[in-house]
Chains A and B, each alone.
Chain A
């Protein structure tokens, strides 16, 4: 069951189009907070991390999830719950995309058959009876 918030998030992602931007939108919507590095050491640390991938790490005995984006000079940080929420949004986003792709393919296939006039059209209609 999709909540209005989820629908809003998914539709805003569909409008943005870009994959990495979509990921950032989903992460932010799930509650990940964005941290901008201030010092040269922080910037260099950000650059040394795997880029644009959500990775789990342990900090002070707790699991946190990091998403480094050096090109945009930002690091997104989330906890276990926020990661689960992010993956739920991700799943719903994928389902929606797959459904839309199937609907588009079906619509195109119907359009092609429709060119023959459909099942009631001239080729399949009264002339066969």
Chain B
């Protein structure tokens, strides 16, 4: 049982870097990225052509900008290279915290419950714990 949790935790570790859409919006906006809803058919077509789930560099009129297509909100999230660096730093920090949480989960699973009696760690006595 403990081994299974450990394997699951290790398998999940590389996935912690992948954030879902609300998290992505949170990280990008926190870094200073601006959200620009697409309003014209041309903008919508350009947006549709962009891959979602990835922040990509694009050469704009004023140099390189980083864009993320938010297809759900039909909006483009745009940032400068500095804002992109900040976004990367936020992401890295988030990953570290996710890993700490995962480590804590593994520690918890590896904790020896037997000192609490034969039933501890196998169901009701743990489930009824206030945690």
Contact B25 A109 (CB under 8 A): no
Contact A56 B35 (CB under 8 A): yes
With known contacts A80-B34, A101-B101, A105-B105, A91–B111 Cβ distance under 8 A: no
In the complex, which residues 2-44 of chain A have their Cβ closer than 8 Å to any Cβ of chain B? none
For residue A80, which residues in chain B have a CB less than 8 angstroms away from its CB?
Answer: 34-35
* Residue ID in chain A nearest B94 by CB atoms: A95
Contact A106 B104 (CB under 8 A): yes
Scan A32-67; emit 1 where CB is below 8 A from any B CB, else 0: 000000000000000000000001111000010100
Our pick among B27, B32, B107 for the contact of A91 (Cβ within 8 Å) is B27
With known contacts A57-B37, A95-B94, A84–B103 Cβ distance under 8 A: no
For residue B32, which residues in chain A have a CB less than 8 angstroms away from its CB?
Answer: 84
In the complex, which residues 3-51 of chain B have their Cβ closer than 8 Å to any Cβ of chain A? 23, 25-30, 32-37, 39
With known contacts A63-B35, A112-B111, A115-B115, A87–B26 Cβ distance under 8 A: yes
Contact B27 A113 (CB under 8 A): no
Is residue B53 within 8 Å, beta carbon to beta carbon, of the partner chain? Answer: no
For residue B23, which residues in chain A have a CB less than 8 angstroms away from its CB?
Answer: 94
Chain A residues in the interface with B (C-beta under 8 A) = 55-58, 63, 65, 80, 83-84, 86-88, 90-91, 94-95, 98-99, 101-106, 108-110, 112-113, 115-116
With A57-B37, A90-B30, A105-B107 known, 12 other A-B pairs at CB within 8 A are A56-B75, A58-B37, A65-B35, A83-B29, A84-B30, A88-B30, A102-B103, A105-B101, A105-B105, A106-B104, A113-B112, A115-B116
30 inter-chain pairs at a CB distance below 8 angstroms, sorted by A residue, are A56-B37, A56-B73, A56-B75, A63-B34, A63-B35, A63-B36, A65-B35, A80-B34, A84-B32, A84-B33, A86-B29, A88-B29, A90-B26, A90-B30, A91-B30, A95-B97, A98-B97, A98-B101, A99-B100, A102-B100, A103-B104, A104-B131, A105-B104, A105-B105, A108-B108, A108-B111, A109-B104, A109-B108, A112-B113, A115-B115
